[in-house]
């Protein structure tokens, strides 16, 4: 009988099952058949074939036994059975560096449970340390700094440690950038006889082992540890891990403490390791987490964050090209969490979670859930390109988290994308997509401190100077030079602006497309504005004398259910210096605006050549469209000219009748009217409008107070 004859016989599932049954105890045909659910004729035929190839034998009493040869074959099949069961894992991971004698015994891990979830895998490692009473052995790709506290606790109860790591490990545990207590703990580890550390050239398997439990894994084809593998408490698996560790331990050399390096502002004066990628695991300790992230950002091209991080009141400063990404998503929410704690409110200096500033740098931040911060979450001061993708930025409330500007209120901003005042940012482009922002998770889906229900009244204005509410802005797009795309974001509960675009350079080309902006909170009436808030507001020049470039606002959904909100606003300059001008072009197309008790659907103020088409407005508002200008100031043209409004659907928009509030605010800017009586309409063009083209349906009302405007009514 040859190899293929034997392979043919054991390839049958029933015969393979018979071998396993006979490994347990000798059996007759009847007992085998009953145990495996086979018929007697089938069983007789199978055992006869197994006897013919020498895998089994029959004794005089009619009992079948596994032969010594059969036991050896079954043992060898167990290795193949194990690797086949986890073929997907071994397709993407390699055991090429594992000594051959251990590859032949890989089936010893058959009693293990495969753990694919990264956090579960890490928890299993923690169990190894927590449950140990005698020894813990670790064969790791980098010093297990993330488990330092557990290691210290284990040492204190008498557990001995052996730690094997590669010479070129990613993290150096001898950094002086650590909290004093952790630095002291590391010193204790180097000195205590309870901890032995050795190094080897390369680690080709990962093992965490105590006398009770083992966790094992293998590197990916790229040589990385992705924290997926096997965990077990059975003796066979423990023996395999123990033997492999001892094999490497005997070949390794004593680890000598590396010379310390100085850390200043979180940056290493000497780069550790040569890898361009690093994984940082959150400890929820501000004295460790902020330093670990900063060191990684300063020294690696790709920083992967895993777990939960508390960076205290610190800021992560980014001044070189880097990609920072969180690891894992569950229910489409990033599993990596970061939050700030410990600042004192009110504060007058700008604060950030991430502060990006540098020349010609390319930065990406993605898949991170920021759960709390103060000031601005992601702030920028310049660079070549910026990508902010699939992040989640949430606050229980904006209260107590905003940068205080006196009577202008406390400003809380999710993302600011742009350059510094004197020079624009990101000529290589900005991409902000698929982010989720919500700044009012508390207060029954609102973040506004009520004042006996007065905020429901149109005349009510919150006391911003005394912090009655914060000014919450989802995104600031400002001072950009190049292409900016803001798309597919979900922005919720911004009581001032969902997306604010201002002070961009004339070369900027900005697209605000396919975003969803929902506000369930009362507006803050920022900057003495008559509107409580706006879904999207674009302004050419607000604080700097610029024209603002080209802007497209398309395919967005804006739903605001509190009083006096505006859907989309397009503004010209608000400051009057040489260089301040109007947008090069602005297109407002295919948007949906729903205002439950709103002010204006779309407003064009002091701006020219804006095209508003194919938009749908619904709900209630005083005006569907306003086109308003004002007197020229210091030689700056502040009229509203040559705007177009056509093919828009206002059928579902109820124009509110004049009321006490509108009658009390007739000023030619907020409301039109005369003798203290206001007038409302689908479209209002004030006296500073000129040469605008307005197309409405016959049932829609228009108030035209301007010059040379063309208003046409189409039949229903």
Structure-block tokens of residue 301: 């091209």
- Cα(180)–Cα(664) distance, integer angstroms: 64
In a domain, 633, yes or no: yes
- Cα(310)–Cα(340) distance, integer angstroms: 6
Same domain for 243 and 389, yes or no, is: no
Q: Which range (279-283, 536-540, 618-622) has the least confidence?
A: 279-283
Same domain for 704 and 580, yes or no, is: yes
Q: In the predicted model, what is the mean pLDDT of residues 337-359?
A: 93
- Residue 203 pLDDT: 87
Of 232, 254, 276, the domain-final residue = 254
Q: Taking 70 as the threshold, does the pLDDT of residue 690 lie above it?
A: yes
Contacts of 631 (CB under 8 A, 6+ apart): 638, 688
Q: In the predicted model, what is the mean pLDDT of residues 498-522?
A: 96
- Residue 12 pLDDT: 75
- Residue 299 pLDDT: 84
Count: domains in the chain: 4
- Cα(178)–Cα(180) distance, integer angstroms: 6
Average pLDDT, the chain: 87
pLDDT digits (tens, 9 = 90+) for 637-664: 999 999 999 999 999 999 999 999 999 9
Q: Taking 90 as the threshold, does the pLDDT of residue 147 lie above it?
A: no
Residue 268 banded pLDDT, cuts 50, 70, 90: very low
Q: In the predicted model, what is the mean pLDDT of residues 202-217?
A: 93
Same domain for 190 and 156, yes or no, is: yes
Contact 44/15 with Cβ under 8 angstroms? no
In a domain, 499, yes or no: no
Same domain for 67 and 133, yes or no, is: no
In a domain, 511, yes or no: no
- Residue 429 pLDDT: 96
Q: Taking 50 as the threshold, does the pLDDT of residue 475 lie above it?
A: yes
Q: Taking 50 as the threshold, does the pLDDT of residue 177 lie above it?
A: no
- Residue 598 pLDDT: 95
Counting residues of the chain whose pLDDT is more than 90, the rounded percentage is: 57
Contact 570/550 with Cβ under 8 angstroms? no
In a domain, 97, yes or no: yes
Contacts of 242 (CB under 8 A, 6+ apart): 137, 209, 214
Structural element, H or E, at residue 395: none
Q: Residue with structure tokens 């009321």?
A: 659
- Residue 289 pLDDT: 86
pLDDT digits (tens, 9 = 90+) for 44-53: 888 888 888 7
Structure-block tokens of residue 338: 């970061």
Residue 264 banded pLDDT, cuts 50, 70, 90: very low
Q: Which range (128-142, 164-178, 447-461) has the least confidence?
A: 164-178
- Residue 168 pLDDT: 66
Contact 686/703 with Cβ under 8 angstroms? no
Of 254, 280, 296, the domain-final residue = 254
Structural element, H or E, at residue 643: none
Q: Which range (5-19, 162-176, 218-232) has the least confidence?
A: 162-176
- Residue 170 pLDDT: 39
Same domain for 356 and 370, yes or no, is: yes
Q: In the predicted model, what is the mean pLDDT of residues 283-292?
A: 83
Q: Taking 50 as the threshold, does the pLDDT of residue 175 lie above it?
A: no
Residues pairing with 693 in the sheet: 644, 710
Q: In the predicted model, what is the mean pLDDT of residues 274-299?
A: 82
Same domain for 358 and 468, yes or no, is: yes
Structure-block tokens of residue 414: 């999710």
What's the number of CA atoms in the CB half-sphere (13 Å) around residue 420? Answer: 10
Same domain for 236 and 379, yes or no, is: no
Query: Which CATH number characterizes residue 103's domain?
Result: 3.30.870.10
Contact 378/389 with Cβ under 8 angstroms? no
In a domain, 504, yes or no: no
- Cα(646)–Cα(700) distance, integer angstroms: 12
Query: Over 310-358, what HEC string results?
Result: ECCCCCEEECCCEEEEECCEECCEECCEEECCCCCCCECCCCEEEEEEC
13 or 307: which leads in pLDDT: 307
Q: In the predicted model, what is the mean pLDDT of residues 141-147?
A: 82
In a domain, 227, yes or no: yes
In a domain, 500, yes or no: no
Residues pairing with 533 in the sheet: 565
In a domain, 510, yes or no: no
Same domain for 237 and 276, yes or no, is: no
Query: Which CATH number characterizes residue 54's domain?
Result: 1.10.10.10
Of 55, 83, 111, the domain-final residue = 83
Burial class (CB in 10 A: 0-12, 13-18, 19+), 588: buried
Residue 16 banded pLDDT, cuts 50, 70, 90: confident
- Residue 14 pLDDT: 79
Same domain for 51 and 65, yes or no, is: yes
Structural element, H or E, at residue 711: strand 710-714
Q: Taking 50 as the threshold, does the pLDDT of residue 610 lie above it?
A: yes
Contact 284/310 with Cβ under 8 angstroms? yes
Contacts made by residues 77-80, CB under 8 angstroms, sequence distance 24+: 77/10, 77/16, 78/107, 78/110, 79/104, 79/105, 79/106, 79/107, 80/107
User: How far, in whole angstroms, is CA 135 from its chain's centroid?
Assistant: 38
- Residue 223 pLDDT: 86
Same domain for 586 and 440, yes or no, is: no
Contact 204/218 with Cβ under 8 angstroms? yes
- Go through 482-518 and write b for each residue having 16 or more CB atoms within 10 A of its CB, e for each that does not: bbbbbbbbbbbbbbbbbbbbbbbbbebbbbbbbbbbb
Q: In the predicted model, what is the mean pLDDT of residues 683-700?
A: 96
Q: Taking 70 as the threshold, does the pLDDT of residue 275 lie above it?
A: no
Contacts of 123 (CB under 8 A, 6+ apart): none
Same domain for 612 and 672, yes or no, is: yes
Structure-block tokens of residue 359: 């020349």
Q: Taking 50 as the threshold, does the pLDDT of residue 595 lie above it?
A: yes
Structural element, H or E, at residue 617: strand 616-621
Domain that holds residue 217: 89-254
- Residue 5 pLDDT: 65
Q: Taking 90 as the threshold, does the pLDDT of residue 4 lie above it?
A: no
Q: In the predicted model, what is the mean pLDDT of residues 528-532?
A: 89
Nearest one of 378, 357, 358 to 368, comparing CA atoms: 378
Angle between helix 13-24 and helix 29-36 axes, rounded to 10 deg:
120
CA of 685: how far to CAs of 23, 276, 450, 624, in Å? 92, 58, 36, 11
Q: Taking 50 as the threshold, does the pLDDT of residue 401 lie above it?
A: yes
Q: Taking 70 as the threshold, does the pLDDT of residue 274 lie above it?
A: no
User: How far, in whole angstroms, is CA 355 from its chain's centroid?
Assistant: 16
427 or 275: which leads in pLDDT: 427
What's the number of CA atoms in the CB half-sphere (13 Å) around residue 404? Answer: 14
- Residue 90 pLDDT: 86
Range list of β-strands (E), 90-194: 113-115, 135-139, 160-166
Q: Which range (65-74, 144-153, 231-240) has the least confidence?
A: 65-74
Same domain for 296 and 224, yes or no, is: no
Q: Taking 60 as the threshold, does the pLDDT of residue 432 lie above it?
A: yes
- Cα(557)–Cα(564) distance, integer angstroms: 18
- Residue 271 pLDDT: 35
- Residue 171 pLDDT: 42
């Amino acid at each position: 009988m040859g190899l293929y004859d034997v392979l043919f016989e054991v390839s049958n599932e029933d015969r393979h099952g018979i071998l396993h049954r006979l490994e347990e105890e000798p059996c007759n045909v009847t007992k085998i058949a009953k145990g495996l659910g086979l018929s007697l004729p089938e069983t007789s035929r199978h055992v006869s074939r197994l006897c013919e190839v020498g895998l089994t034998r029959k004794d005089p009493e009619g009992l079948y036994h596994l032969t010594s040869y059969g036991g050896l074959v079954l043992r060898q099949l167990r290795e193949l059975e194990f690797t086949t069961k986890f073929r997907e894992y071994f397709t993407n991971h390699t055991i090429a560096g594992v000594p051959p004698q251990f590859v032949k015994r890989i089936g010893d891990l058959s009693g293990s449970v495969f753990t694919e979830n990264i956090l579960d895998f890490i928890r299993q490692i923690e169990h190894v340390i927590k449950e140990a009473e005698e020894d813990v052995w670790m064969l790791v790709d980098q010093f297990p700094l993330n488990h330092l506290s557990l290691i210290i606790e284990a040492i204190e109860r008498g557990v001995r440690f052996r730690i094997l790591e590669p010479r070129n490990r990613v993290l150096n545990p001898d950094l002086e950038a650590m909290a004093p207590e952790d630095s002291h703990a590391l010193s204790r580890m180097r000195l205590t006889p309870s901890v032995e550390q050795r190094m080897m050239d390369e680690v080709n398997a990962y093992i965490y082992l105590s006398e009770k439990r083992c966790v094992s894994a293998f590197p990916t084809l790229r040589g990385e540890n992705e924290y997926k593998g096997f965990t077990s408490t059975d003796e066979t698996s423990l023996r395999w891990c123990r033997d492999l560790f001892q094999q490497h331990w005997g070949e390794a050399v004593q680890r000598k403490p590396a010379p310390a390096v100085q850390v200043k502002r979180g940056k290493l004066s000497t780069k550790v390791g040569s890898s361009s990628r690093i994984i940082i695991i959150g400890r929820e300790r501000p004295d460790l987490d902020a330093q670990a992230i900063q060191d990684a950002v300063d020294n690696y091209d790709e920083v992967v964050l895993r777990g939960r991080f508390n960076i205290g009141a610190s800021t992560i400063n980014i001044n070189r090209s880097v990609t920072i990404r969180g690891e894992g998503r569950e229910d489409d929410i990033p599993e990596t969490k970061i939050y700030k704690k410990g600042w004192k409110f009110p504060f007058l200096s700008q604060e950030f979670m991430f502060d990006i500033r540098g020349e010609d740098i390319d930065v990406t931040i993605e898949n991170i859930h920021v759960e709390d911060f103060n000031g601005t979450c992601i702030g920028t001061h310049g660079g070549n390109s910026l990508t902010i993708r699939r992040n989640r930025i949430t606050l229980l409330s904006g209260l107590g988290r905003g940068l205080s500007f006196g009577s202008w209120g406390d400003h809380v901003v999710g993302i600011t994308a742009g350059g510094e005042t004197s020079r624009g940012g990101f000529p290589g482009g900005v991409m902000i997509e698929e982010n989720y922002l919500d700044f009012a998770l508390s207060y029954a889906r609102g973040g506004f401190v009520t004042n006996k229900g007065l905020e429901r009244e149109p005349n009510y204005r919150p006391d911003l100077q005394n912090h009655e509410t914060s000014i919450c802005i989802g995104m600031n797009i400002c001072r950009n030079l190049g292409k900016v795309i803001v798309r597919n974001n979900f922005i919720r509960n911004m009581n001032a602006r969902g997306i604010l675009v201002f002070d961009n350079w004339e070369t900027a080309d900005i697209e605000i497309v396919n975003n969803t902006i929902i506000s369930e909170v009362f507006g803050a009436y920022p900057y003495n504005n008559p509107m409580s808030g706006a879904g999207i507001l674009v302004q050419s020049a607000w604080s700097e004398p610029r024209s603002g470039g080209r802007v497209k606002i398309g395919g967005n959904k804006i739903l605001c259910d509190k009083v006096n909100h505006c859907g989309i606003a397009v503004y010209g300059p608000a400051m009057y210096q040489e260089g301040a001008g109007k947008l090069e072009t602005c297109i407002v197309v295919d948007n949906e605006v729903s205002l439950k008790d709103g002010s204006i659907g779309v407003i064009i103020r002091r701006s020219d050549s804006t095209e508003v088409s194919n938009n749908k407005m619904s709900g209630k508002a005083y005006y569907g469209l306003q086109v308003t200008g004002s007197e020229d100031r210091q030689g700056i043209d502040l009229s509203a000219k040559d705007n177009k409004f056509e093919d828009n659907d206002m059928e579902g928009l109820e124009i509110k009748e004049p009321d006490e509030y509108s009658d009390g605010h007739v000023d030619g800017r907020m409301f039109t009217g005369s003798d203290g009586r206001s007038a409302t309409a689908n479209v209002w063009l004030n006296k500073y409008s000129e040469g605008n083209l307005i197309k409405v349906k016959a049932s829609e009302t228009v108030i035209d107070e301007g010059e040379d405007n063309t208003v046409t009514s189409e039949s229903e």
